[in-house]
Structure 1
Amino acid sequence: MDAHQHFWNLQQVEYPWLGPEHGPIYRSFEPGELEPQLLAAGIDKTVLVQAANSYEDTEYMLSQAERFGWIGGVVGWVPLMKRREAEEKLKQWTKNPVFKGIRHLIHDERDPDWVIQGEVIEGLRVLAAYGMTFDVVAVFPDHLKHVPLLAEQVPGLKLVIDHLAKPPIAKKGWEPWAEQLERAAQYPDVYAKVSGLNTAAGDDWTAADLKPYIDFAVKTFGAERLMFGSDWPVAIMAGDYAQVWCETNKALESYPKADKEAILGGTAARFYHL
């Protein structure tokens, strides 16, 4: 299972963060392009994750999920700063069984502490009341440190740290990323995605570059709270889908079968209620 992938259509939805400077990903990416790559990797379900802080992006994703049964879940968006409006949208969208959770592009906010504002915390409490999950775009070093506070302030909310918070792989860096990740892992409702690591590693990366960071995540979270994601199509900025899948599997090959099965599907199925 792929617990983190995206689609975007530049003709239907605005993506303020995406421009020509993003090179190969500055175009539309839709299910027909990903489907053969999933089949080649033997992946039967994916979780489709928001790419814009807008209703239009969520509606677009839900429409794709109606057409392609292998999209097992959609992580959309509601305005967490506006509690009542967020609740109205959640009332609507949670009637759709494929709608699983929320994400906000917090790393695009000017305020690095945006996610711990009182209004946002109130919005996250509404999310928890509806049994929805929250994907944390915890781009290191600004956001990972907030995860323990979110876990404490919003009990019962299932949180997942996207991309292991983008560890400094290219520089072979370690602290304070490791200490912050370890602290976040102390909260049982906090999970993490083994995703987006190839673009953190830079060019000419291999499983050997990823393995120390994956090993540390397994040590701190356990396989039962880790899930694989391709981060396609962002992944093509440093490789391709097949390379991400194969090299991640190589990095996991020494682990027991049960651990590999958890990271490569079981954890995501439980977390997102697929």
Structure 2
Amino acid sequence: MPRIDAHQHFWKPERGDYGWLTPELTTLYRTFGPADLAPLREAAHVSRTVVVQAAPTVDETRYLLDLARADESVAGVVGWVPLDDPNAPQLIDELAREPKFKGLRPMLQDLPDDNWIATAPIAPAVDAMIEHDLAFDALIFTRHVPALETFVRRYPRLRVVIDHGAKPPIHDGDGAAGFRAWADGIARLAQLSHMQCKLSGLATEAAPGWTEATLRPYVDHLLATFGAARLMWGSDWPVLNLNGDYLRWHDAAQTLLAGLSAAQRDAVFGGNAAAFYRLSPR
């Protein structure tokens, strides 16, 4: 089974629509493109990737689609549209003509209203997503779980994946209470059979100096709740560079999943992403 990185980013700061990407983030504040990722992918034997939006603009989605057309290693693009805009269904119809356009992500973690996904007038846009068989990436923290659960139950035909394991509070130091709140939220969401989860972003959420032992309780809980059939590995590169690197996280994930069967590891490191995002064979 070819290995697939289910979550990575490309960006060009001078495009000017990222907002969060400022010069103070010196590690990240430069262009990252397919040529930068290629040697890392190849060293990890990752053949293809899913590139995910990093700016809440349609222009950035078009930029990513341009990159995807020019590089066979980019198997799919998860983009952005203003889901609550009356023109959203038409935008989705247009973008869905691109073969590598595979899903949308509204960046829920950055919205001022934690309940937005449950209350916003987005039904026409979601119906368009379902019509075009597009996936929905949920970028959330624990506090968003109730609203996301409401949303997912409302749309049983929509394929939804949680990004970065819902960003557990590995670094925050709120101890057992923080872990329990996150773990309970994950368990609730895992009960929804059409929902999957990305094994990504955990290194980013950890404190500097993290080890496999640091991440193991979180990985074990994701495995216990979602199972290997509904988890997909992603790098979160280049955000990962803030607190790790591509090969270190790839190796750590392999160690943490060593107890799975070969078939289960193949699923997490490629098969699940290919099926979930409806990726075309090469």
Same fold (TM over 0.5): yes
Secondary structure of the residue aligned to 1:115 is: helix
TM-superposed deviation, 1:122? 4.2
Q: d(CA) in 1 for partners of 2:108 and 2:237?
A: 19
- Number of the residue aligned with 2:167: 166
- Give the deviation of 1:145 after TM superposition: 2.8
For residues 9 and 204 of structure 1, the distance between their equivalents in structure 2, rounded to whole angstroms, comes to: 29
Deviates more, 1:1-10 or 1:119-128: 119-128
Q: Tell me, what secondary structure is at the counterpart of 1:78?
A: coil
Query: 1:246 — aligned with what?
Result: 251
Q: Which structure 2 residues correspond to residues 1-274 of structure 1 after superposition, within 5 A?
A: 1-82=4-85, 84-138=86-140, 140-170=141-171, 171=173, 173-274=178-279
Closer/same/farther in 2, CA of residues 20 and 204 from structure 1, 3 Å limit:
same
Point out 4+ residue stretches in structure 1 off by more than 4 angstroms: none
Give the match's secondary structure for 1:47. strand
Conserved in 1, the CA contact under 8 Å of 2:116 and 2:147? no
The alignment-based identity, stated in percent, is 39
SS at the partner of 1:15?
Answer: coil
Conserved? CA contact 1:196–1:231, under 8 Å: yes
What is the CA–CA distance in structure 1 between the aligned matches of 2:97 and 2:278, rounded to whole Å?
Answer: 14
2:8–2:234 Cα contact (<8 Å) kept = yes
Q: Would the aligned equivalents of 1:103 and 1:135 in 2 still touch at CA under 8 Å?
A: yes
TM-score by length of 2: 0.93
Measured against aligned partners, the alpha-carbon deviations of 1:213-232 in whole angstroms (never above 9, x if no partner) come to 11111111111110000000
Give structure 1 stretches of 5+ with no counterpart.
Answer: none
Number of residue pairs matched?
272
- With 64-73 and 19-28 compared, the bigger mean Cα shift is at 19-28
Partner of 1:267, secondary structure, is helix
**Aligned letter for 2:229?**
E
**How many Å apart are 1:38 and its aligned residue?**
0.4
Preserved contact between residue 48 and residue 75 of structure 2 (Cα < 8 Å)? yes
After superposition, the Cα gap between the structure-2 partners of 1:225 and 1:154, relative to the gap in structure 1 and judged at 3 Å, is same
Q: Distance in 1 between matches of 2:143 and 2:208?
A: 24
User: Is residue 13–residue 57 contact of structure 1 (8 Å, CA) maintained in 2?
Assistant: no
Q: TM-score, normalised by structure 1?
A: 0.95
- Letter in structure 2 aligned against 1:54: T
One-letter identity of the residue aligned with 1:105: M
